[in-house]
Structure 1
Amino acid sequence: MQEQQAAVSYITSKITGWKYVSVLPASLFNEKMQYMRKLIWISIGMCFLVGGVICVLFLRKNYMPIQVMLQSLSHKFGLRFDGGSSEYSFLQGAIQHYFTEKEDMRARLDQHRNTIRAHLIRRLLKGSIEKEALLHESLAAHHIEFSSDRFVVILMSVDGFGKFEQYGQNGLSDQKEQMLHFILTNVLVDAAADDAAIYTTEMNDVLACIVNFHKSDSEERERLTLHRISAQVREFMQEQMQVELTIAVGEVYSDIYGIAQSYHEALDALEYRIVLGSGQFIRYRDTQLNQAPPHHYYFPLSVEQQLIYVVKSGNYAKAEALIEDIFQKNFAGHPVSVPLAKCLMYNMASTMLNTVDEVSVTGKRSLEAHLLDVEPLLSCEHVPQMKEQLKEKLSQVCSWIQAEKRDHHRYLIEDVQRYIENHLHDPNLNISMIGDVFRMTPSYISRLYKDHTGEALLDTINRLRLAEAKSLLKHNKLTVNEVAGRVGYADVSTFVRTFKKFEGITPGAFQKAAQ
Structure 2
Amino acid sequence: MYNHLKHFIRRKDGRKSVFITLFLSYVIILLIPVAIGSVFYPKIERILIDNANRSNVAMLEQARRAIDSRVKEINSFASHIAFHPKLSRLLDQNRYAADNNTFTFVEFMREINRYHIMNSFVDEFYIYFNESDIILSPSMKTVSKVWFESIYRYRNLNYEYYLKQILQPYRYQTFLPSEEMESGTKRYQMITYIHSLPRGEQENVKGSLVMLIDERKLLDMLASIDGMQKGSVIIENDAGEVLMSTAGRTDYSDRDPSLIITRTISAQNGWTYVSIVPKSVVLSQVNTLKKWAILVVFFCIAGGGMICYHMAYRNYRPIRELVHAVINGRKSDQHKDHHNEFELIRTTVSHLFVKEKDLEDQLSRNLPVIQADFLSRLIRGRVDATTVSSQDLEFMDLSFTHSCFAVMIVDIEDCSRFIKEDTEREWALLRFILANISKELLNKPAYAIEMERDRIVILINNDKISENLNCDDLYAFAEELLKIMEARFKTQVTAALSTIHSGVGNIGKCYSEAIFAMDYKMIKGPSSILYYEEVRHSKKDRYHYPIEMESQLMNYARNGDIVHVEKLLDHIYEVNFLHTAGMTPELVRCLFFEMFSTLQKLSHSLNYSSDAASGTDPAKFFQYYTTAEEMYAKLKRDYKEFCSVVKLQRTDHSAQLYRKITVYINEHFYESGLSLTMMADYFELNSSYMSTFFKNYSGQNITDYLLNLRIQKTKELLLETSLTISDIAERVGYASNIGLIRVFKKVEGITPGQYRTNHALIQQADNRSE
2:461 corresponds to which letter in structure 1? Answer: N
Q: Distance in 2 between matches of 1:308 and 1:287?
A: 34
Distance 1:216 1:264, change over 3 A: same
Q: Distance in 2 between matches of 1:191 and 1:141?
A: 26
Of residues 179, 184, 188, the one that matches 2:429 is: 179
Show the 5 A alignment for 1:254-273.
Answer: 254-273=502-521
Structure 1 stretch displaced more, 303-312 or 121-130? 303-312
Q: Distance in 2 between matches of 1:317 and 1:378?
A: 29
Computing the radius of gyration from Cα coordinates, the structure with the larger value is 1
Distance 1:307 1:165, change over 3 A: farther
Structure 1 stretch displaced more, 111-120 or 177-186? 111-120
Residue 389 (structure 1) aligned with residue 389 (structure 2): no
Q: CA deviation at 1:405?
A: 2.3
Counterpart in 2 of 1:166?
420
Structure 1 stretch displaced more, 248-257 or 301-310? 301-310
SS of residue matched to 1:343: helix
Q: CA deviation at 1:132?
A: 1.9
Counterpart in 2 of 1:301?
547
Distance 1:373 1:115, change over 3 A: farther
Residue 319 (structure 1) aligned with residue 565 (structure 2): yes
Q: Distance in 2 between matches of 1:254 and 1:370?
A: 51
Q: Distance in 2 between matches of 1:380 and 1:241?
A: 24
Residue 242 (structure 1) aligned with residue 490 (structure 2): yes
- Between the aligned residues of both structures, percent identity stands at 20
Q: Distance in 2 between matches of 1:190 and 1:383?
A: 33
Counterpart in 2 of 1:216?
464
1:280 corresponds to which letter in structure 2? Answer: S
Structure 1 stretch displaced more, 130-139 or 114-123? 130-139
Counterpart in 1 of 2:409?
155
Distance 1:324 1:115, change over 3 A: farther
Residue 200 (structure 1) aligned with residue 449 (structure 2): yes
Q: CA deviation at 1:351?
A: 2.4
CA deviation string 1:396-436 (max 9, x = no partner)? 121112112224999xxxxxxxxxxxxxxxxxxxxxxxxxx
Q: CA deviation at 1:298?
A: 1.2
Counterpart in 2 of 1:130?
384
Of residues 406, 414, 427, the one that matches 2:651 is: 406
SS of residue matched to 1:122: helix
Distance 1:116 1:299, change over 3 A: farther
Q: 8 Å contact 1:377–1:390 — kept in the other structure?
A: no
Q: CA deviation at 1:359?
A: 1.8
2:413 corresponds to which letter in structure 1? Answer: D
Counterpart in 2 of 1:34?
none
Distance 1:209 1:183, change over 3 A: same
Q: Distance in 2 between matches of 1:244 and 1:165?
A: 12
Distance 1:337 1:220, change over 3 A: closer
Root-mean-square deviation over aligned CA pairs: 3.1
Q: 8 Å contact 2:400–2:445 — kept in the other structure?
A: no
Q: CA deviation at 1:258?
A: 1.3
Counterpart in 1 of 2:94?
none
SS of residue matched to 2:535: helix
Q: 8 Å contact 2:465–2:501 — kept in the other structure?
A: no
Q: 8 Å contact 2:603–2:613 — kept in the other structure?
A: no
Q: 8 Å contact 1:377–1:389 — kept in the other structure?
A: no
CA deviation string 1:93-131 (max 9, x = no partner)? xxxxxxxxxx89985x75554343222222112111135
Q: CA deviation at 1:220?
A: 5.6
Q: Distance in 1 between matches of 2:596 and 2:613?
A: 17
1:394 corresponds to which letter in structure 2? Answer: Y
Counterpart in 1 of 2:372?
118
2:404 corresponds to which letter in structure 1? Answer: R
Of residues 583, 592, 602, the one that matches 1:355 is: 602
Show the 5 A alignment for 1:350-499.
Answer: 350-360=597-607, 364-365=608-609, 367-368=610-611, 372=615, 378-407=623-652
Q: 8 Å contact 1:156–1:206 — kept in the other structure?
A: yes
Q: Distance in 2 between matches of 1:295 and 1:254?
A: 33
Q: From the two aligned structures, give the one with the greater helix fraction.
A: 1
2:595 corresponds to which letter in structure 1? Answer: M
Q: Distance in 2 between matches of 1:204 and 1:351?
A: 37
SS of residue matched to 1:282: strand
Residue 189 (structure 1) aligned with residue 435 (structure 2): no
CA deviation string 1:34-64 (max 9, x = no partner)? xxxxxxxxxxxxxxxxxxxxxxxxxxxxxxx
1:285 corresponds to which letter in structure 2? Answer: E
Q: Normalising by structure 2, report the TM-score.
A: 0.36
Counterpart in 1 of 2:476?
228
Q: Distance in 2 between matches of 1:301 and 1:125?
A: 46
Q: Distance in 2 between matches of 1:334 and 1:302?
A: 23
Tell me: higher relative CO, structure 1 or 2? Use CA pairs within 8 A at least 6 residues apart. Answer: 1
Distance 1:135 1:305, change over 3 A: farther
Q: Distance in 2 between matches of 1:315 and 1:115?
A: 62
Q: Distance in 1 between matches of 2:400 and 2:549?
A: 56
Counterpart in 1 of 2:61?
none
5+ residue gaps in structure 1?
1-102, 411-515
Q: 8 Å contact 1:150–1:253 — kept in the other structure?
A: yes
Distance 1:229 1:319, change over 3 A: same
Q: 8 Å contact 1:250–1:263 — kept in the other structure?
A: yes
Q: Distance in 2 between matches of 1:325 and 1:221?
A: 33
2:393 corresponds to which letter in structure 1? Answer: L
Q: Normalising by structure 1, report the TM-score.
A: 0.52
Q: CA deviation at 1:136?
A: 5.1
SS of residue matched to 2:472: helix
Distance 1:350 1:269, change over 3 A: same
Q: Distance in 1 between matches of 2:615 and 2:566?
A: 18
5+ residue gaps in structure 2?
1-357, 656-770
Counterpart in 1 of 2:682?
none
Counterpart in 1 of 2:50?
none
